[in-house]
């Protein structure tokens, strides 16, 4: 095959491996732990693993890292299938589970014992921690059980498997290097006892392999060539290699680390996300404010916008914080090209056209997408009573206010010039209705006499308006870096109270026919889609995917 050009340090390694003949193919894997829904950080890893393999005509396995029996759930497994597919990637069939390899992993553990490279320890987890010392200079001391004979270790390990001991009573540990400055190398645990039912293996096992042991061996069993993971595993790499080398396995996978995605104004820890869901502070894992893939989907993001984002952030070896506005930018750019325009009034105030015939409704043509010449126009009804945005009228406006004001004239998008002639107020002096006259010569929104108006505002005809609930979303947190909370504080104390604002809106009637896959630009308001969970024909709910204002592009331009 022609080897493509590398565009990052991971591809450098792959290109080199293919050129030198170290490898003749590429097989990566995405290894989620099914203990939560996947988030935008996982999406980065998915795009990286699947995208890299694809570039080199390779393949990618989906493997559930289900070595922790108590925290896992088939609900999560199903959601992960769904989300990876939705992002546009296909894994190699069949799907793999670390639990598929429990028999083989157990055999590998016995081999380690037989090689004199693992022992059964009776120290409690607390004692073990104490004995291991720390990397701040506290030396380790060997466990009194470290020098058990191979026979005794084998016998005890088999009895661990048979269920003779209680949780935590014994642990199989690698016999490695207690003086290593790398804590991962100080006789790490290989198997622990946990009498728990596993979502796939049921009660077959009461001992479970540790991640650091299961992971390299699962990679090897599947024939993974490049095992891409996040930076926190860098210090685990010597251990990853040690298991493979000690067991004398050939064609070993290579672990390569990259910096995880951190995104501003949100959290990425599954534990924190679960807490948000469990405490009812969001509407679920797919709440449109959540950084989960299902949350973004419900909010109206497309798979291509998320892939574009992952592409733009690139990969590196240094941790950094990505501005969430870049994500907003990616979806906005796409929807600007693809979304149909529509008119919706989110905070309505009534306008009456005094010189319009009672009961008459006329259709005007409004363009569907100025960015797309092929998108055509649609008919929008116009009549005597309309709604406009409350803040598009001001009774006592400042200078340079070009929207509707007493004696002022504006263009109603696609319809007519209207001029404000009077207002009605309630007992408290609030304007309840704005009276206007229209100029019949300005149909289509321009005046034949060359008269100009400075403002164009959107509107919805009252008699044909459709009611809808509209949800406006903002960042979930008020803190840019949620990893940087003051000492001892919980980032959940920094939730944005205005992260969701609900409006009772008036929509143009074409929106009653919207489908779940449709995307709209509500003129001057942003991009919207139906809410997949809560919208019903008799009660429409629209989500704002993103507003129109581009803070990212502006910041870049500066």
State the nearest-atom distance from the C-beta of 32 to ligand ATP, in Å: 4
| 437 sits near ligand ATP (criterion: CB under 6 A) | no
Exactly one of 54, 260, 281, 379 is catalytic; name it.
Answer: 260
Is 312 annotated as a binding-site member?
Answer: no
Is 270 annotated as a binding-site member?
Answer: yes
Stretch that binds ligand ATP, among 171-179, 264-272, 404-412, 493-501 (CB under 6 A): 264-272
State the nearest-atom distance from the C-beta of 269 to ligand ATP, in Å: 5
CB 79 within 8 A of CB 294: yes
| 408 sits near ligand ATP (criterion: CB under 6 A) | no
Stretch that binds ligand ATP, among 27-35, 290-298, 415-423, 439-447 (CB under 6 A): 27-35
Closest CB to ligand ATP among 261 and 294?
Answer: 261
| 295 sits near ligand ATP (criterion: CB under 6 A) | no
| 268 sits near ligand ATP (criterion: CB under 6 A) | yes
Is 265 annotated as a binding-site member?
Answer: no
Per CB under 6 A, the list member of 269, 338, 496, 551 interacting with ligand ATP is 269
State the nearest-atom distance from the C-beta of 46 to ligand ATP, in Å: 8
Closest CB to ligand ATP among 36 and 408?
Answer: 36
Question: Would residue 281 show up in a list of annotated catalytic residues for this protein?
Answer: no
Per CB under 6 A, the list member of 45, 368, 499, 510 interacting with ligand ATP is 45
State the nearest-atom distance from the C-beta of 366 to ligand ATP, in Å: 43
Q: With H, G, I as helix, E, B as strand and everything else as coil, classify residue 48.
A: helix
CB 193 within 8 A of CB 122: no
- Report the DSSP beta bridge partners of residue 344: 507
Closest CB to ligand ATP among 32 and 348?
Answer: 32
| 326 sits near ligand ATP (criterion: CB under 6 A) | no
CB 240 within 8 A of CB 226: no
Is 45 annotated as a binding-site member?
Answer: yes
Rg of the chain on CA atoms, in Å: 31
State the nearest-atom distance from the C-beta of 234 to ligand ATP, in Å: 12
| 260 sits near ligand ATP (criterion: CB under 6 A) | yes
CB 395 within 8 A of CB 405: yes
Q: Measured between alpha carbons, how far is 255 from 248 in angstroms, rounded to an integer? A: 17
Alpha helices by DSSP H, listed for 251-302, are 270-278, 293-299
| 458 sits near ligand ATP (criterion: CB under 6 A) | no
Is 539 annotated as a binding-site member?
Answer: no
Closest CB to ligand ATP among 206 and 268?
Answer: 268
- Report the DSSP beta bridge partners of residue 422: 435
Is 192 annotated as a binding-site member?
Answer: no
Q: Measured between alpha carbons, how far is 532 from 538 in angstroms, rounded to an integer? A: 14
Q: Measured between alpha carbons, how far is 357 from 382 in angstroms, rounded to an integer? A: 11
Residues in the chain: 558
Is 532 annotated as a binding-site member?
Answer: no
Closest CB to ligand ATP among 77 and 366?
Answer: 77
Is 139 annotated as a binding-site member?
Answer: no
Is 535 annotated as a binding-site member?
Answer: no
In 3D space, the residue among 463, 545, 464 whose CA is nearest the CA of residue 511 turns out to be 464
Q: Which residues have C-beta within 8 Å of that of residue 514, sequence separation ≥ 6? A: 520, 529, 530, 540, 542
Touching ligand ATP, residues 198-257 (CB under 6 A): 229-230
Q: Measured between alpha carbons, how far is 450 from 135 in angstroms, rounded to an integer? A: 79
Exactly one of 270, 297, 298, 332 is catalytic; name it.
Answer: 270
Q: Measured between alpha carbons, how far is 51 from 314 in angstroms, rounded to an integer? A: 12
State the nearest-atom distance from the C-beta of 94 to ligand ATP, in Å: 19
Q: With H, G, I as helix, E, B as strand and everything else as coil, classify residue 169.
A: coil
State the nearest-atom distance from the C-beta of 34 to ligand ATP, in Å: 8
Per CB under 6 A, the list member of 270, 289, 298, 405 interacting with ligand ATP is 270
Question: Would residue 558 show up in a list of annotated catalytic residues for this protein?
Answer: no
Is 405 annotated as a binding-site member?
Answer: no
| 288 sits near ligand ATP (criterion: CB under 6 A) | no
Q: Measured between alpha carbons, how far is 325 from 319 in angstroms, rounded to an integer? A: 18
Per CB under 6 A, the list member of 6, 8, 15, 33 interacting with ligand ATP is 33
State the nearest-atom distance from the C-beta of 232 to ligand ATP, in Å: 8
Q: Which residues have C-beta within 8 Å of that of residue 385, sequence separation ≥ 6? A: 350, 351, 352, 353, 461, 462, 463
What H or E segment, with its residue span, contains residue 64? strand 59-64
Per CB under 6 A, the list member of 11, 14, 32, 157 interacting with ligand ATP is 32
Q: Measured between alpha carbons, how far is 510 from 110 in angstroms, rounded to an integer? A: 68
Q: Which residues have C-beta within 8 Å of that of residue 158, sequence separation ≥ 6? A: none
Q: What is the 3-state secondary structure (H, E, C) of 479-532?
A: CCCHHHCCCCCCHHHHECCCCEEEEEEEECHHHHHCCCCCCEEECCCEEEEECC
In 3D space, the residue among 319, 374, 368 whose CA is nearest the CA of residue 508 turns out to be 368
Question: Would residue 384 show up in a list of annotated catalytic residues for this protein?
Answer: no
Which residue's CB comes closest to ligand ATP?
Answer: 41
Q: Measured between alpha carbons, how far is 150 from 119 in angstroms, rounded to an integer? A: 8
State the nearest-atom distance from the C-beta of 272 to ligand ATP, in Å: 8
Is 230 annotated as a binding-site member?
Answer: yes
Give the position of tokens 């009456």.
Answer: 352
* Size of interface with ligand ATP, in residues (CB under 6 A): 14
Tokens encoding 75: 């609900």
> How would you class 530 by CB atoms within 10 Å of its CB: exposed for 0-12, middle for 13-18, buried for 19 or more?
buried
| 26 sits near ligand ATP (criterion: CB under 6 A) | no
Closest CB to ligand ATP among 33 and 347?
Answer: 33
* Residues tagged active-site: 33, 260, 270
Binding-site residue ranges: 33-35, 39-45, 65, 211, 230, 260-261, 268-270
Annotated binding site for L-glutamine: 65, 211
Residues in contact with ligand ATP by CB under 6 A are 31-33, 41-42, 44-45, 229-230, 260-261, 268-270
Q: Which residues are annotated as a binding site for ATP?
A: 33-35, 39-45, 230, 260-261, 268-270
């Amino acid at each position: 095959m022609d080897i493509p050009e590398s565009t990052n340090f991971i591809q450098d390694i792959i290109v080199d491996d293919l050129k030198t003949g170290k490898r003749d193919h590429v097989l990566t894997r995405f290894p989620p732990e099914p203990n939560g829904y996947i988030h935008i950080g996982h999406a980065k890893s998915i795009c990286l693993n699947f995208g890299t393999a694809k570039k080199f005509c390779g393949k990618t396995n989906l493997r559930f890292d289900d070595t922790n029996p108590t925290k896992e759930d088939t609900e999560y497994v199903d959601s992960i299938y769904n989300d990876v597919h939705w992002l546009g990637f296909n894994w190699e069939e069949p799907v793999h589970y670390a639990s598929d390899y429990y028999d083989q992993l157990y055999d590998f553990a016995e081999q380690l014992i037989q090689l004199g490279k693992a022992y059964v320890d009776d120290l409690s987890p607390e004692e073990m921690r104490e004995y291991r010392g720390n990397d701040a200079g506290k030396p380790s001391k060997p466990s009194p059980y470290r020098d058990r004979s191979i026979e005794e270790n084998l016998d005890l390990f088999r009895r661990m498997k048979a269920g003779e001991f209680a949780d935590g009573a014994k642990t199989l540990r690698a016999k490695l290097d207690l003086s290593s400055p790398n804590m991962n190398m100080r006789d790490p645990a290989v198997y622990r006892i946990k009498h728990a039912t596993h979502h796939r293996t049921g009660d077959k096992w009461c001992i479970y392999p540790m991640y650091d042991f299961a992971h390299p061996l699962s990679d090897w069993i599947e024939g993974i060539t490049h095992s891409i993971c996040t930076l926190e595993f860098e210090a685990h790499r010597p251990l990853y290699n040690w298991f493979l080398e000690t067991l004398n396995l050939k064609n070993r996978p290579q672990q390569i680390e990259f910096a995880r995605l951190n995104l501003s104004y949100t959290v990425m820890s599954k534990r924190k996300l679960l807490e948000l869901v469990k405490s009812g502070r969001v509407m679920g894992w797919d709440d449109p404010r959540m950084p989960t893939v299902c949350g973004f989907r419900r909010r109206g993001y497309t798979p291509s916008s998320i892939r574009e984002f992952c592409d733009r952030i690139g990969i590196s070896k240094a941790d950094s914080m990505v501005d969430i506005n870049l994500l907003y930018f990616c979806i906005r750019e796409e929807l600007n090209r693809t979304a149909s325009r529509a008119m919706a009034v989110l905070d309505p105030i009534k306008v009456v056209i005094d010189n319009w015939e009672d009961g008459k409704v006329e259709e005007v043509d409004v363009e569907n997408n100025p960015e797309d010449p092929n998108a055509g126009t649609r008919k929008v009804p116009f009549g005597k009573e309309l709604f406009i945005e409350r803040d598009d009228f001001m009774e006592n406006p400042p200078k340079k206010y070009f929207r509707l004001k007493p004696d002022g004239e504006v263009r109603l998008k696609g319809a007519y010039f209207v001029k404000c002639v009077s207002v009605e107020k309630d007992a408290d002096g609030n304007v309840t209705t704005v009276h206007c006259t229209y100029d019949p010569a300005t149909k289509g929104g321009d005046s034949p006499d060359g008269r100009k108006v400075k403002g164009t505002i959107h509107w919805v005809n009252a008699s044909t308006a459709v009611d809808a609930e509209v949800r406006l979303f903002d960042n979930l947190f008020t803190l840019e870096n949620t990893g940087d909370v003051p000492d001892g504080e919980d980032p959940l104390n920094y939730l944005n109270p205005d992260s969701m604002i609900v409006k009772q809106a008036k929509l143009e009637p074409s929106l009653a026919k919207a489908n779940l896959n449709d995307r709209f630009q509500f003129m001057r308001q942003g991009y919207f889609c139906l809410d997949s969970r809560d919208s019903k024909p008799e009660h429409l709910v629209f989500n704002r995917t993103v507003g129109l204002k581009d803070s990212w592009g502006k910041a870049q331009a500066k």
